[in-house]
Amino acid sequence: METRDLQTFLAVAASGSITKAAEALGRSQPSVTRTMQDLEAELGFELLHRVGRRVQLSEEGVAFEEEARRLLMSFTELAARAKVIAAGKGRILQIATTSAIGTGLIPKAMAELDHTGLPHETHVGQFLASIVAQEVRSGRADIGFSSLPLDIPGLDVLRLYSAPTVIALREDDPLAVLDVVPLAAFAGRRLSTMLNPLRFQMHVAKALAAQGIETGEIIRTNVSYGALQFVRQVKGVMAIIDPVTSYGVSMPDVVIRPIDVEVPFYWGVLAATNRPIRPAAQAMVDAVEAVAEQSIVGFKKLDPATAGQLVTGRPSGPDDGNDL
Write down the domain spans for the chain: 3-78, 91-162+265-312, 166-262
What single DSSP character describes residue 277? P
CATH of domain 166-262: 3.40.190.290
The per-residue pLDDT string of the chain (324 residues; one tens digit each, 9 = 90 and over) reads 788 898 999 999 888 889 999 998 999 999 999 999 999 999 898 998 888 778 889 888 888 888 888 888 777 777 776 776 666 556 788 999 999 999 999 999 998 886 666 777 888 999 989 889 999 998 889 999 999 888 778 999 999 999 999 999 999 999 999 999 999 999 999 999 888 766 777 788 888 899 999 999 999 998 899 999 999 999 899 999 999 999 999 899 999 999 999 888 999 999 999 999 999 999 999 999 999 999 999 999 999 999 888 754 444 333 333 222
User: Cβ neighbours of residue 90 under 8 Å, at least 6 residues apart?
Assistant: 84, 119, 120
CB atoms within 10 A of CB 99: 20
- Rounded CA gap, 184 and 182, in Å? 5
pLDDT at 84: 64
The yes or no reply on domain 91-162+265-312 and CATH 3.90.226.10 is no
- Rounded CA gap, 260 and 257, in Å? 10
CATH of domain 3-78: 1.10.10.10
pLDDT at 296: 96
pLDDT at 115: 64
- Rounded CA gap, 132 and 147, in Å? 10
Q: What is the pTM of this model?
A: 0.75
Domains 3-78 and 91-162+265-312 share a fold: no
Burial of 245 (0-12, 13-18, 19+ CB in 10 A): buried
pLDDT at 116: 62
CB atoms within 10 A of CB 170: 18
User: Cβ neighbours of residue 301 under 8 Å, at least 6 residues apart?
Assistant: 159, 160, 161, 289, 293, 319
